[in-house]
A = this chain, B = another copy of it.
């Protein structure tokens, strides 16, 4: 049995709480949040507190607060030499106060407030300073069904950066697709099966092999038609830049 204390009440904290709370060999000893009203609804399921001086003992303290608040919160912990981890992709492991044993438990996934998340679809990237701390974090991830991966700081940094490309930026392309279709009263919904298939395709195929379309084919006529048809300057700039990027990846000449 691994005991944990969760600190924070955002999406990651809440999804982790729910997963740990239903896992067989994890005990959530306490849930801390500075503003207790955010976690008040869970008071019958777990001991809640807004007072750092009242934190209970646990094997692992999981700080799942906003990036900017991690260092400060870890500094305010009154105990020392306990395993304290944060869940951020972009905050350094050394940002955790040095009086603790430090680690990172980074779930590489996007969490929605309402949607349930099956943790078998949430790879946990684990980083520790002391090798001995790695195993308990790995066990913790396995206990909620997550695949795990040991990473170093550079690997975690590039994974977080790549996640911005494949998640935030991709979602913005969906948004632009929405804007473009709506401009002529066409239905964005018609694109949804294509969006799913695009994501499905690279589960088996590399993105390099999966590429298709006018940019890869160097189909100048269609590219020209598309650029002419784009009324929004930003959309046009994105079209040009990503077309060029595809053509650099797939050889031959430029736009």
7 contacts between A and B (CB under 8 A): A90-B222, A109-B193, A162-B178, A164-B215, A165-B174, A165-B176, A176-B245
Roughly how many angstroms separate A216 CA and B241 CA in the complex, as a whole number? 21
- In A186-221, the 8 Å CB interface with B consists of 186-188, 190-208, 210-216, 219, 221
Roughly how many angstroms separate A2 CA and B100 CA in the complex, as a whole number? 74
Which of the segments A28-36, A56-64, A135-143, A150-158 contacts the partner chain?
A150-158
Judged by a CB distance under 8 angstroms, whether A108 is at the interface is yes
Whether A221 pairs with B68 at a CB distance below 8 angstroms is yes
Roughly how many angstroms separate A214 CA and B207 CA in the complex, as a whole number? 24
Judged by a CB distance under 8 angstroms, whether A110 is at the interface is yes
Closest to A120 in B: B193
Closest to A169 in B: B242
Q: Which of B155, B156, B194 interacts with A108 by CB under 8 Å? A: B194
A160 to nearest B CB, angstroms? 8
Whether A166 pairs with B195 at a CB distance below 8 angstroms is yes
Whether B241 pairs with A168 at a CB distance below 8 angstroms is no
Roughly how many angstroms separate A195 CA and B222 CA in the complex, as a whole number? 28
- Counting every copy of the chain, the complex holds 2
A109 to nearest B CB, angstroms? 6
Q: Which of B115, B178, B202, B222 interacts with A67 by CB under 8 Å? A: B222
Judged by a CB distance under 8 angstroms, whether A5 is at the interface is no
Judged by a CB distance under 8 angstroms, whether A183 is at the interface is yes
Whether B241 pairs with A193 at a CB distance below 8 angstroms is no
- Interface residue count for A (Cβ, 8 Å)? 90
Whether B238 pairs with A207 at a CB distance below 8 angstroms is no
Q: What chain B residues lie within 8 Å of A186 (beta carbons)?
A: 151, 155-156, 158-159, 162
Whether B198 pairs with A123 at a CB distance below 8 angstroms is no
Closest to A225 in B: B90
Roughly how many angstroms separate A178 CA and B159 CA in the complex, as a whole number? 10
Assuming the contacts A177-B162, A183-B158, asked whether A246 and B191 have C-beta atoms less than 8 A apart, the reply is no
Whether B175 pairs with A208 at a CB distance below 8 angstroms is yes
**Given A174-B207, A192-B203, A198-B199: 13 more A-B contacts, CB < 8 Å:** A67-B221, A164-B213, A164-B226, A166-B191, A166-B198, A168-B211, A168-B242, A169-B239, A170-B199, A172-B211, A174-B202, A177-B207, A238-B245
Judged by a CB distance under 8 angstroms, whether A180 is at the interface is yes
Judged by a CB distance under 8 angstroms, whether A38 is at the interface is no
